[in-house]
Chain A
Amino acid sequence: MTKAILLVTRRLPPAIEARSARDYDARLNATDAPVTGADILSRAEGASAVLCCPADRLDAATIRALPESVRVIGTFSVGFDHIDLAAARERGIAVVNTPDVLSVATAECAMLLILAAARRAGEGERLVRSGNWQGWAPTQLLGTGVSGRRLGIFGMGRIGRELVPMARGFGMTVHYRDQVRLPTELEQGATFHDSDDSFLPVCDVLSLHAPGGEGTRHWLNAERIGRLPHGAVVVNAARGTLIDDAALAAALQSGQIAAAGLDVYNNEPNVAPGLLALENVVLLPHLGSATVATRDAMGHLVLDGIDAVLAGREPRNLVP
């Protein structure tokens, strides 16, 4: 039996390329060079499926120009802003993505940022690498302990809930703020807050896990920062737009916020210069889910979806 043709736009983890080549007549991209819509079209002849990445642009024109043979587009991402869904629908092309499999890696990244910010890891690392370390001293680079502190989780979705047992292992007590209280079994003993008034003052450490968008834009602003306990630690591995960067930078300078750990920013990859210049921040380049395990899981999930569509089954990760 002839295998269906699968066009893969970018390099993918070895396990995923191997599965693609096993199950499909796979057109892999050996160079990992960024591709344009025209590049995709030039390689799509006869393809049944296209496996793309968030950096690719599948706009309406590209989708309309895809060969008739294409029945499904899989994206190696949770987000699908880069795919014109209306055009895909018009053409009867299904779109599948990779929800749910990034939660653990992202929660891990948040816990890393909590510890690294509280314990001044960035400053310590730079001191060692600089060659200027003069030796241990009782008052050198003293940070904040996390054991026994209160962690406030803003947005108790899948990632926020993954963070709860991690934080509890460090002896933290957990509070959360969301629109509605979760069922008890999902709460895992965390304390619900139905208002910022009760929530903000208990956040010795505040970790953001809410979605982006206009409803949460600059939620953490100067006024709310002022209601955190003095010397709080702030972590954001969710969406850059949740924080007013200027207010955060000012609070990091005044000491109202002792330290911050950030994986996401407004206007990526152009990080606010006020944040880049600070010593008491730990900054990561939006790699919260960048683990081998997660990328493999994403790849398997998107291939599962493509397999299902081509076999005439309903995929569990169909983008509606």
Chain B
Amino acid sequence: MTKHRLVVARPVPQAVTDRASSEFDAVLSDSADMPPDAVIQALADHRAEALFFSSNLKLNSDFIARLPQSVRVAATCSVGFDHIDVAAAKARGLIVTNTPEVLTDCTADLAFMLLLCACRRAWEHTEVMRSGWRRSFGMREMLGIQASGKTIGIVGFGRIGRAVAQRARGFNMRVVYTDVARAAPELEHGAEFVPTLRELLPRCQIVSLHAPGGAATDKLMNAETIGLLPRGAVLVNAARGTLVDEDALIDALTSGQLSAAGLDVFRKEPDFDVRLAALPNVFLTPHMGSATTETRNAMGFRALDNIEAVLAGNPAIDPLWS
């Protein structure tokens, strides 16, 4: 049987490469991301039926218009799809899929790691070590915030938000959450629904963002909403950089309104606002919420599963729209 023809537009983990080459007639990216023109060229040369990509490639209306007619499905190896012009893809009749679910635990783990690192001043503490230590600390120096027993506010109670709530319970934290609607009682496990962000924030010593990006949530955390938190609160964002007004964040971290923040995402990536890197009371990671070998393999496999389903004439498993 002839294998379906696929272009993989960026390097992927070895296990995913192996499967792509064994199950498809695949053109792979060996060491570097393919630039957009090269992707179009490869798709045309290869008469490809499917494109495997992620956030490096912007599927804007111009790019979609240039896609060869042979391409029927484009699978992004990500949950987010801010890099895709959904209307243009729909109009072209292109099927686009993503990879939800497989990175829930991994992202929740990283969010909680940021929470602990921010609370416990991990950046300052690790810097002490890198500069040679050589000093003892007084009884009120370098003290962090104990996360255990605090009230955590979860903004966005989807899969990842709920997984963070589960972790918080292991630390005897009180969990309050807000979302567009209350979750089913069996998903709450004792978490308390608060109808609005404005009512939620004054109650949380720690707030963790798990809402989607986009215009509706842009700068959800701004000078006014950050001001609703109790003084000295801790903010965690492992969701989308656009959720936070970074000018207001920097002001609050400098004034003490926020005592610390843990950030995995930024308004601009990778050329993020370097004023953040000058602050001692932040813990910063380079968008690595899903960065484990197991999860990246699972994401790649899920993207390949979607491509296989569509090319076999079945419905996509994770279509962006239905």
Contacts and interface: CB of A to CB of B under 8 A. Distances in A.
B154 to A, nearest CB: 14
B129 A166 contact: no
B311 to A, nearest CB: 22
A295 B139 contact: yes
A143 B299 CA distance: 15
Given A137-B11, A269-B134, A283-B129, A112 B292 contact: no
Given A119-B109, A271-B129, A112 B11 contact: no
B110 A291 contact: no
A138 interface: yes
A115 B292 contact: no
B170 A125 contact: no
Nearest to A33: B138
Contacts of B292: 119, 142-145
A119 B166 CA distance: 19
A125 B126 contact: yes
Contacts, number: 206
B120 A129 contact: no
A125 B106 contact: no
Interface in B1-41: 10-13, 33
Interface string B273-311: 010010000011111100111111001100000000000
B322 interface: no
Interface string A245-273: 00000000000000000000000110100
Interface in A144-198: 144-148, 165-171
Interface of B: 10-13, 33, 54-56, 77, 105-106, 109-110, 112-113, 116-117, 120, 122-123, 125-126, 128-130, 133-149, 166-172, 269-270, 272, 274, 277, 283-288, 291-296, 299-300
Given A140-B291, A287-B120, A291-B145, 18 more contacts: A12-B140, A32-B141, A119-B288, A121-B117, A124-B284, A124-B291, A128-B286, A136-B270, A139-B11, A142-B13, A145-B109, A147-B106, A167-B170, A169-B171, A269-B136, A283-B126, A293-B145, A295-B139
